[in-house]
């Protein structure tokens, strides 16, 4: 495996960062997870745009243009002969001192890894997933805005620990007001009748790339799509429930907090959107080869 590091391709064994990098010391940096399908990088420019928005929000100046970043991702995929896989794009604050001051870091580091990922087994897509809500509250926007996809994922990790301890692969986090926000790594949708409902960004949600694609595909298919504040009551009474994310794609949920959703099987609309998403993902994107 070849890793892109600051303009050079480096063998995996030689890909190292300094122990004084503020990305390691303080989680000071931003990242994106991106998929490659059928020899194309899916929604690459949208991911790069979001990366730069995250960086701007934390006053991190990425030392290359957006087009150069796009080219670097494609180059990394090409070097690793990635046709179907997962790309992790990371920008750290860079090497600095043992202190919080980010301005001691003179040059950010850009790291790109092209590999593979399988977040959930196929069985969960066929039969549906069980999830729970957890006590860990989603970061409030006034502290660390969830739309900043930062290297400090401790909020999500604490919720993930609760999910694992609860015997399920994923968990739903509420915001400080008690409304549904998102899962530890995915966005959440419920279906009532012919209507898709998902929390708006101001509920404490990362505005997911896959989330937005699914919303567009649903509208094109004739479904009613709305961003709306949701409570657990709304979720418990949903006809269908599913999660979306770069790694997860579209995954059905059949129980939450031991309450059965619908008839306890992946719903008709969920399966339709899962199919539409995969067809779309395999037909668009920036060509690698």
Which whole-number Å values give the CA distances from 126 to 250, 251, 262, 288, in the listed order? 11, 9, 16, 31
What residues form DSSP beta bridges with 224?
Answer: 195
| Beta carbons within 8 Å of 221's beta carbon, 6+ residues apart | 272, 273, 276
Strands (E), the chain: 2-5, 8-11, 29-37, 40-41, 85-92, 109-115, 129-133, 170-174, 180-183, 187-192, 195-198, 224-227, 240-245, 249-256, 259-260, 286-287
Give the Cα separation of 86 and 77 in Å (integer).
Answer: 9
Are the CB atoms for 228 and 200 separated by under 8 Å?
A: yes
Of the CA atoms within 13 Å of residue 67, those in its CB half-sphere come to 0
16 is catalytic: no
Q: What is residue 48's three-state secondary structure?
A: helix
- Choosing from 66, 149, 192, 271, the catalytic residue is 149
Residue where the block lists tokens 């966005």: 187
Residue where the block lists tokens 């199919």: 275
List the structure tokens of 121: 């087994």
Q: What is residue 279's three-state secondary structure?
A: helix
Please list, residue by residue across 40-50, b when 16 or more beta carbons sit within 10 angstroms of its beta carbon and e when fewer do. Answer: bbbbbeebbeb
As annotated, the active-site residues are 149
């Amino acid at each position: 495996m070849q890793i892109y590091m600051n303009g050079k391709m480096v063998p995996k064994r030689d890909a190292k960062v300094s122990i004084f990098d503020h990305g390691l010391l303080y989680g000071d940096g931003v990242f994106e997870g991106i998929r490659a399908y059928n020899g194309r990088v899916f929604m690459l420019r949208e991911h790069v745009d979001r990366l730069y928005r995250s960086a701007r929000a934390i006053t991190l100046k990425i030392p290359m243009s957006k087009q150069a970043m796009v080219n670097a991702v494609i180059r990394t995929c090409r070097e690793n002969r990635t046709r179907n896989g997962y790309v992790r794009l990371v920008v750290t604050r860079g090497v600095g001192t043992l202190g919080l001051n980010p301005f001691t870091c003179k040059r950010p580091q850009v790291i790109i890894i092209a590999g593979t990922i399988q977040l959930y087994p196929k069985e969960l897509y066929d039969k549906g997933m069980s999830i729970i809500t957890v006590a860990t509250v989603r970061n409030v926007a006034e502290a660390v805005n969830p739309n900043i996809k930062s290297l400090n994922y401790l909020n999500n990790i604490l919720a993930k620990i609760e999910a694992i301890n609860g015997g399920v692969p994923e968990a739903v986090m509420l915001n400080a007001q008690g409304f549904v926000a998102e899962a530890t790594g995915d966005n959440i949708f419920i279906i009532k009748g012919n209507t898709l409902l998902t929390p708006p960004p101001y509920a404490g949600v990362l505005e997911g790339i896959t989330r937005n694609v699914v919303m567009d595909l649903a509208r094109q298919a004739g479904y009613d799509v709305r961003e709306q504040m949701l409570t657990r009551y709304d979720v418990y009474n949903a006809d269908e429930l599913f999660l979306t994310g770069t790694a997860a794609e579209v995954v059905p949920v059949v129980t939450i907090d031991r309450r059965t959703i619908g008839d306890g099987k992946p719903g008709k609309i969920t399966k339709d959107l899962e199919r539409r998403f995969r067809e779309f993902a395999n037909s668009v994107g920036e060509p690698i080869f």
